[in-house]
Structure 1
Amino acid sequence: MPLLQFHLVRHAWTKEQVQTILDTAYDVTREAFHAPAGDRYQIVSYHEPEELVMEDTGLGFTRTNKRILLSIRTRPRTQEEKITFYRLLHDQLQQKLELDDHDLMINLVENQDEDWSFTSGKAQFITGEL
């Protein structure tokens, strides 16, 4: 049930590359977070370069227009799961798309099962439907 929202620079990626980003993130989510098949919720938002500001936080690097800001909303995850997710996604995007080492930033926000309603105005985790 992780919800992944990708923020990308407009026109920096082809449709095929965006699909690779989404498919790769889904596969990594299944591996690192043990998400079941079909548990896929992804949003892509495009921004002009000046609208997607991702500075280096004092670490001394620059980013390209191929930068990706990924915001994840998910139930609590262990430190190990988070570290595994960050590393796997970085490594696989770097391998598949030659993503620059500094162009991926991930923010993970935890919530609880009761914070989700998948359909029909019901809290499926609370009602026991899920």
Structure 2
Amino acid sequence: MPFIRVSYLESQYEVRQLNVISKAIMETLIQHFHVPEDDWFQVFHAHKQEEFYYSSHYLNVERSEGLLFIHITCKSGRTVEQKTCFYETLATTLSKALPMRKEDVFIVLAENEYADWSFGNGAAQMLHRTIGEA
């Protein structure tokens, strides 16, 4: 049940590339987090240069204007190994598919619980699922 926001500089990616990014994120979520194939909720945000700030060298990672901020909100419970494998797989997949630099794949996971989700109709649908379904 992840919700994904992807932010980027408006001049950096074309529609075709955004489609590749979207599919790569979803395939990697399925592979590492065992997300159902139809659990696909993503929003892409293009930003003007004056709206997009980042350190080009924080933690000795050399970033370029091709930087993607990928923010994933998801249910808690993944292991550190699942998360680190997810990061590596997604960066590698995107670097080969577009191509783009692995250094420009910036990922943030924000975890929460079932009560924090409503998928419509004003209901907390995930509270009514049995354990193991999500």
TM-score between the two structures when normalised by the length of structure 1: 0.92
- Report the CA distance between 1:61 and its aligned residue: 4.1
The equivalent of 2:122 in structure 1 is 121
Runs of 4+ in 1 over 4 A off after TM superposition: none
**Alignment check: 8 A CA contact 1:49 1:65 kept:** no
Rounded to whole Å, the distance in 2 between the matches of 1:56 and 1:75 is 31
Pair 1:55-2:38 in alignment: no
Rounded to whole Å, the distance in 2 between the matches of 1:97 and 1:128 is 37
TM-score between the two structures when normalised by the length of structure 2: 0.89
Aligned residues: 130
**Alignment check: 8 A CA contact 1:6 1:70 kept:** yes
Rounded to whole Å, the distance in 2 between the matches of 1:66 and 1:58 is 16
Instruction: Spell out, residue by residue over 1:40-82, the C-alpha distance to the aligned partner (whole angstroms, 9 max, x if none).
Output: 1101011112322121564234322211001110011211111
- Report the CA distance between 1:119 and its aligned residue: 1.3
Structure 2 residue matching 1:102: 3-state secondary structure: helix
**Alignment check: 8 A CA contact 2:94 2:102 kept:** no
Gaps of 5+ in 2: none
**Alignment check: 8 A CA contact 1:71 1:107 kept:** yes
**Alignment check: 8 A CA contact 1:69 1:106 kept:** yes
Structure 1 residue matching 2:21: 3-state secondary structure: helix
What CA RMSD, in Å, does the superposition of the two structures yield over aligned residues? Answer: 1.7
The equivalent of 2:109 in structure 1 is 108
The equivalent of 2:70 in structure 1 is 70
